[in-house]
Structure 1
């Protein structure tokens, strides 16, 4: 039985019409496999027929998942790479048009000034040359406008393609899913770059004869097209040129997406995102727990190597869990259930985070509690130590056994919530102090600023939990207060943000993790 040859007849996989074929409604006795060579669903009769003999088959639900995953990746590429690239190209063309207007204006001014030194008989020649300039300008502007219209049309097509893939990803209609063909590959070929050459006015000497030749001439113009001048945007971060994520705006009212009960006996301190589906937590015992965000179920538990309570947790770029052991003086990296240890001498580790480059940043205190510093590790090798400002004064308030948190911003700034100093201390990548944020008044509970957990988002915002005021402060990357997140939090402590800029807050008061939506994407 060959479905390809019976589509025009009465063949119905799972006894459903093609328009209503649903992934969740497939009759497992009818169409539970997929012929890779023929590129169609097949039933158990088809597999044994001559039509598919020797063909490689797969489980159809696996094929569905693979197709949806492919479309999701292409949707992400459209959203995060291709669409922003075309926006930049359109902006570049518009800037070139503005510059062209300015340059041609300067050219006209130069001609006019030169013409003012001549007698009345050359006025006609001046007007003739200016007319030539205007004609050249209009020709080039028309060419660029046509180029811009084509780019804007492509941008509109990209948005339509994005919406189409989103609809396809959300559907369970197999007929629709297998009928959709992605055109993303067509947008990877960027347009040629049109480069108008700037004209020059070459003045001549006034000698009273051959005015047309002596007055001056305009150099020849051209519009070139260079395919390789534009390049696709990248999502890789670097100090010189970071990625350009989609523009997002803060919501007027935040939305609680989900709440996860961690079931720690007494207290909950930290949360760290493993992915957009899973989070690590640590509470009042020596067990760190991995939870499913959507289901709220416990997936895995890991006990500390020393059996001491961990002081802080983080997740590396490669997805490994990291925790600090203040009592044992160790930084621990959990890889495939094995724990790699960085052991400190005379220092005790506190807050920890993973950077965009894959390094670890650890804030630590000396055994006597009189010094505090930030150390950057590459593997187990110390790459950098940050402790003093330009005047030799300590950047961080010395103290013992006080929880501190650290994170890296998108511009590679290092942000530390220093509860001892009642401040967020931000230094640049080189360790030079940029600013200290000491809170904003009026606070929701009118209490002193008490910063604990700290994290950053794709827009460079810095978010810090304020335990005393049961809220989260949002400031920009230069330390300017933007607003509070005040949505009935109960002792906000640790925080993290997933790739969609959803905020997860570990609540000390009720031992729950609250997922909060506080931004939305704005497509221009």
Structure 2
């Protein structure tokens, strides 16, 4: 590329176009090298003044930016003095002074730009992404609740309310879509600003750098949260004179906005509610005796009924008093590896020996997926009614998480952005989906909890807490609650770690007589159910949050 026509270059003489500039004529607005100065001054047709010896040194700057900047900086330049009258020593001083001033400006502004870029990438931008995820979660919950209510009305033979439910759903979805568009517009702006800042840092454009103004404060104020309360059905007492009211009524649509306390808080911000108040001393509420010892998995069908399984080929539904309500046998006769429940209450289990994923239909288990070259391990159902399954290859050299929508594999999560494995090659990998749609895996062989976002990008790894004075961190079971807390069973240390959704340690549950805790689940009121190295299920109240 020709040096005169490139976007950035070392400044050259305007006359010969080959040698670095060393002087400037104010009258002609022209730059010269030492060899061309004499020719220019000898031209009697021009009023020539050469006040500013120049040094381009090694800065790669655009011509017009350098000219404008130097005109502002060198206000004290020697005017109406010819280049021939400037002593060489004084020329060097001026050159060094100008270069030092320019370099100082660039370095100072570059630090500010880098600081703003880090805040945008690590703190502000992720918060906007979380807001989008929250709205998506509300959409799915609304869709699920409306579908359940419509199905219930169909079973009762009441089809009139279906139109009311649909109207409420449409209004709610429209509001959530509008809120999503607002956040997405902000995200688009943030992406552009981040891209511009990176380009600015990569360039040496002194004009752009010196005139930079931060816009971070504009985005620290997050858009208000929109909270939509899904409709629910409230029953009415049957009145013989008002049979048309016997099916009850729908609650009105409730829409609220919630401010983010004006602006984002610093990274080390302490929450208003102390940890001690959020997580008081855990209380053992109920101990449920079973005929399994040890128990391997537990999942809640409701607040009063739970599915469990142990060492044999059965899965059992029991109530909080330990009364057996239902027994289901596996298809192959093998013991289940893990169990979960679909949104409609259908039981699903994995069989690692038969390499199958199975579902209950008409009170019997049927195989829905059979794998080749992979062994299914642990499973969880998602808010969108998908299945997330951890699995390991036959030769135990690879591990991954697979998402199934019905019978179809729709997502595989195996490597990070640098093509490195996300998970170890061990067999113990309990899995759970968080309320913000993060996918949480308790990777026992790696001694860590691995959390990725909905698209499979690594968010963080939790490897235990420094206060753990017993054996090394030994994660096994994992679950999440309504506050997006992550709870994981620390098997060898007889305790449960509670983390926030960003992987920050909050509290231990290390009482209540825990004995090698294994599988975990929570009910709708955030009561924790724990099974371990005994024939008991323990129900624990661990939080005071609503």
User: What's the TM-score, normalizing by structure 1?
Assistant: 0.52
1:62 matched to which residue of 2?
none
Which residue number in structure 1 is paired with residue 18 of structure 2?
A: none
- Give the structure 1 partner of residue 323 of structure 2: 297
Task: Output aligned runs, 1:22-171, within 5 Å.
Answer: none
From 441, 462, 472, the equivalent of 1:448 is: 472
In the TM superposition, residue 252 of structure 1 has moved relative to its aligned partner by 1.4
Give the secondary structure class of the aligned counterpart of 1:468.
Answer: helix
Take 1:494 and 1:302, find their aligned partners in 2: how far apart are those partners?
Answer: 19
How far apart are 1:374 and its partner, in Å? 0.3
In the TM superposition, what is the alpha-carbon distance from 1:335 to its structure 2 partner? 2.1
Q: How does 1:279-294 map to 2 (within 5 A)?
A: 279-293=306-320
User: Does residue 470 of the first structure (1) align with residue 494 of the second (2)?
Assistant: yes
Q: Contact between 2:499 and 2:507, CA under 8 Å: does it hold in 1?
A: yes
Cα distance in 1 between the residues matched to 2:517 and 2:400: 25
- 1:332 is aligned to 2:354: no
Question: 1:168-187 residue pairs with structure 2 within 5 A?
Answer: none
- Residue 261 of structure 1 and its aligned partner are, at CA, apart by 1.1
SS in structure 1 at match of 2:479: strand
CA distance in 2, matches of 1:303, 1:267: 18
Runs of 4+ in 1 over 4 A off after TM superposition: 184-187, 230-233
Taking the aligned partners of 2:313 and 2:257, their CA distance within structure 1 comes to 46
Equivalent of 1:188, from 228, 252, 255? 252
Residue-by-residue CA offset, 1:56-90 (whole Å, 9 max, x unaligned): xxxxxxxxxxxxxxxxxxxxxxxxx9xxx9xxxxx
1:383 aligns with 2:410: yes
Aligned counterpart for 1:406 among listed residues 431, 454, 460: 431
Give the structure 2 partner of residue 480 of structure 1: 504
Q: CA deviation at 1:186?
A: 12
- SS of aligned partner of 1:520: coil
Supply the distance in 2 between the matched residues of 1:278 and 1:502 (Cα, whole angstroms).
13
Contact 2:373 2:393 in 1 (8 A): yes
Q: Aligned runs of 1:221-300 on 2, under 5 Å?
A: 250-264=278-292, 266-293=293-320, 295-300=321-326
1:296 shift after superposition: 1.8
Q: Tell me, in whole angstroms, the C-alpha distance in 1 between the residues paired with 2:334 and 2:464.
A: 33
Instruction: Tell me the SS of whatever aligns to 1:416.
Output: strand
> Which residue does the alignment assign to 2:532?
507
Aligned residues: 296
Structure 1 residue runs without a partner (length 5+): 1-80, 86-165, 170-183, 191-229, 234-246
- Bigger radius of gyration among the two: 2
Asked whether the 8 Å contact 2:350–2:377 carries over to 1, the reply is yes
CA shift for structure 1 position 521? 3.8
1:485-496 equivalences under 5 Å are 485-487=509-511, 488-496=513-521
Q: Aligned in 2, Cα 1:186/1:358: closer, same or farther, shift over 3 Å?
A: closer
**Larger strand percent:** 1
After superposition, the Cα gap between the structure-2 partners of 1:335 and 1:447, relative to the gap in structure 1 and judged at 3 Å, is same
Alpha-carbon distance change, 232 to 301 in structure 1, aligned in 2, over 3 angstroms: farther
Match of 1:498 in 2: 523
Cα distance per residue 1:291-344 (max 9 Å; x no partner): 101x22111111111001111111111101111000000011112213232111
The 3-state SS of whatever aligns with 1:253 is coil
- The 2-side partners of 1:189 and 1:306 are apart by 48
1:318 equivalenced with 2:338 (yes/no): no
Please tell me whether the aligned partners of residues 507 and 514 of structure 1 are also in contact (alpha carbons under 8 angstroms).
no
CA distance in 1, matches of 2:520, 2:435: 17
Alignment partners' CA distance in 1, 2:281 and 2:502: 24
Match of 2:422 among 390, 395, 398: 395
Provide the rounded CA distance (Å) in 2 between the counterparts of 1:251 and 1:426.
Answer: 23
Report the Cα distance in structure 1 between the residues aligned to 2:540 and 2:302, rounded to whole angstroms: 16
Equivalent residue, structure 2, for 1:360: 387
1:267 Cα deviation after fit:
1.5
1:442 is displaced (CA, Å) by 2.0
Per-residue CA distance 1:41-70 (angstroms, 9 max, x = gap):
xxxxxxxxxxxxxxxxxxxxxxxxxxxxxx
Q: CA RMSD in A?
A: 3.5
After superposition, the Cα gap between the structure-2 partners of 1:186 and 1:325, relative to the gap in structure 1 and judged at 3 Å, is: closer
What is the match of residue 457 of structure 2?
Answer: 432
- Corresponding residue number in structure 2 for 1:94: none
Task: Tell me, in whole angstroms, the C-alpha distance in 2 between the residues paired with 1:381 and 1:477.
Answer: 29
Q: 2:337 touches 2:349 (CA, 8 Å); kept in 1?
A: yes
CA distance in 2, matches of 1:336, 1:448: 45
1:187 Cα deviation after fit:
8.4
Alpha-carbon distance in 1 for matches of 2:409, 2:251: 44
Judged with a 3 Å threshold, the aligned counterparts in structure 2 of structure 1 residues 305 and 468 are, in CA distance, closer, same or farther, namely same
Looking at structure 2, the residues matched to 496 and 231 of structure 1 have their Cα atoms a distance apart, in angstroms, of: 30
